[in-house]
Structure 1
């Protein structure tokens, strides 16, 4: 094989490894995120509105954390970023079933969201650096499809696991993240930090303020997260309220019969 063929083969393996990692991480997140409200209610007996505020804050922290990280992704080795983000992902999901404090659970959940944001941002930056324009469109579209598959497969798996133990979805997410850690170590080559080009503008946080398009995108992302959280909590509140009414009716019927 020529040097060019070896490079193409290596790039193909790295791309497949990253797409598989994206799928596994999304499955793990999809198996746990829909059940966080139930977990906090059963384990710590928290009110639904308190859980909503806490989890919404954790999700927004992940969105805000990813705002400036796209700029920093080109400054350092992307493989190192991916490895560290997956390690934090594993640590967070492994720690949630082990701790006995609701505040720590929310903190670990926020760290998980930050780690997922880092991985997804660096993943896109890696594809953008190494793929041609034609392949970029195909791979980005394939990655979007993989994300949808992960969010479709994850919740049913989480439902089956919750029926046996409420902690099993978190262990599944940690196990799913262990495979991407191996894939990244085996199939991704370490790249050097991006060198600063002469005359390049120095990045400052004010760039994000002036970038109106990015601001609109992140505002819509945050609003979408809050909207989904609100409807999920409304559904849970209605379901919980109906269950309480049925229990009152049963207790009232027993009292009348007595």
Structure 2
């Protein structure tokens, strides 16, 4: 990976640094939001879930307009502005004494993070040839997972000193990136194509809705994200219902560590081998790993069995996420790349709904039934991927 980073233009490396630094800033606080909202504002568990889930959903929906901005404004200025908003959001959470202000800051953080993520992916499409993009997406995802692995450890240490310090540190990291980007980024970076007049936002939205390949891939990503987007949340819910709190803690700690170590060590090695030519086979393999992992979870009774099942599940995650990026990259027109990636970000709606659906099922059905539901979501996602791929092949033949 380090060798690949040395061969990239400095602009690409700056974009990759955004994935690491801003994810680290976000990960420092996310695991402790439940405790912080309970202690600081006295919210119930149900209200906490509503706050966290709804802010993620609102940020994802608003990021659709962010994708429109990526296609029509200077990427340099856009990333600079939204990294400033990201920093302001964390400053607000550190200072907020009212829940409505804290809520608004969480929406701002999620929105800014989503828009910067879209700009980074669109930047890869503008700066790198097609053959090198899969590798860049894999490096980006590896750096993102390094941030998610290291962030909670930093947050735990800071929270022992003061419950507000994780938010202060996240804001400081956001500010550090802001000033670093201001000094070292390429001010000419833009994915805007000057050879055509920009379309209004609603016209672009209508155009995207008519691309049935994108609709299929977006639905597939949303359904798949129900399975892997918040797996720790629904597995925690399942374990709390079926085992003791002590065993739940042991299992969650073990599988989170397994997931992080595997993604960090294998993502780049596997992800760089994913090529546009065999995307359907890769996706089939990844989704199969999800189903096998879910079956393992349903049958697991020991810590080792949970770790093995998590290892299989994680292989699916390592394959599917960069493959999803490649699917969108293959069909996105250069002048609408930001909007196409923004549509892909709607998969966050699936990630947010997973724990809600599983919680309802756990309250009304036998506990193991959640794995049947999740397997069905996986298969349905695979069906939409297959349909989108067939439409893409037909489109390619028509153009040729």
TM-score range for the pair, normalised by the shorter chain length? 0.7 to 0.9
Which has the greater radius of gyration? 1
1:171 to 168, 173, 180: 168
CA RMSD of aligned residues (A): 3.1
Tell me if 1:216 matches 2:219: yes
Is residue 37–residue 51 contact of structure 1 (8 Å, CA) maintained in 2?
Answer: yes
1:151 aligns with 2:148: yes
**What corresponds to 2:204 in structure 1?**
204
**Hey, what does 2:90 align to over in structure 1?**
93
Q: Which residue of 1 aligns with 2:70?
A: 73
1:70 is displaced (CA, Å) by 2.9
Unaligned runs of 5+ in 1: 1-8, 244-258
Distance 1:85 1:168 in 2: 22
Does structure 1 conserve the Cα–Cα contact (< 8 Å) formed by 2:12 and 2:127?
A: no
Q: Which runs of 5+ in 2 are unaligned?
A: 1-5, 247-400
Tell me the equivalent position of 2:45: 48
Structure 1's 181 and 227: CA in aligned 2 closer, same or farther, altered over 3 A?
closer
Structure 1 position 133, deviation (Å): 2.2
Cα 1:217–1:71 change in 2 (3 A) is farther
The one of 126, 134, 139 aligned to 1:137: 134
CA distance in 2: counterparts of 1:141 and 1:224, whole angstroms = 20
Paired residue total: 232
Q: Which has the higher contact order (CA 8 A, sep 6+)?
A: 1
Query: Aligned pair in 2 of structure 1 residues 134, 208: CA closer, same or farther (>3 Å)?
Result: closer
Name 1:112's counterpart in structure 2: 109
Tell me the CA shift for residue 214 of structure 1: 4.7
Residue matched to 1:32: 29
Inter-CA distance 222–106: structure 2 relative to 1 (3 Å threshold): farther
Distance 2:221 2:16 in 1: 24
Contact 1:94 1:171 in 2 (8 A): yes
State the distance in 1 between where 2:128 and 2:70 align.
Answer: 17
Is the aligned partner of 1:123 residue 2:126?
no
Q: Is the 8 A contact 1:88 1:112 kept in 2?
A: yes
TM-score for both structures, normalised by structure 1: 0.78
- Whether the 8 Å contact between 1:63 and 1:221 is mirrored in structure 2 is no
Deviations 1:28-52 (A, max 9, x none): 1011111111101000111010110
Counterpart of 1:255? none
| Stretch moving more, 88-97 or 11-20 | 11-20
* Separation in structure 2 between the aligned mates of residue 214 and residue 32 of structure 1, nearest angstrom: 31
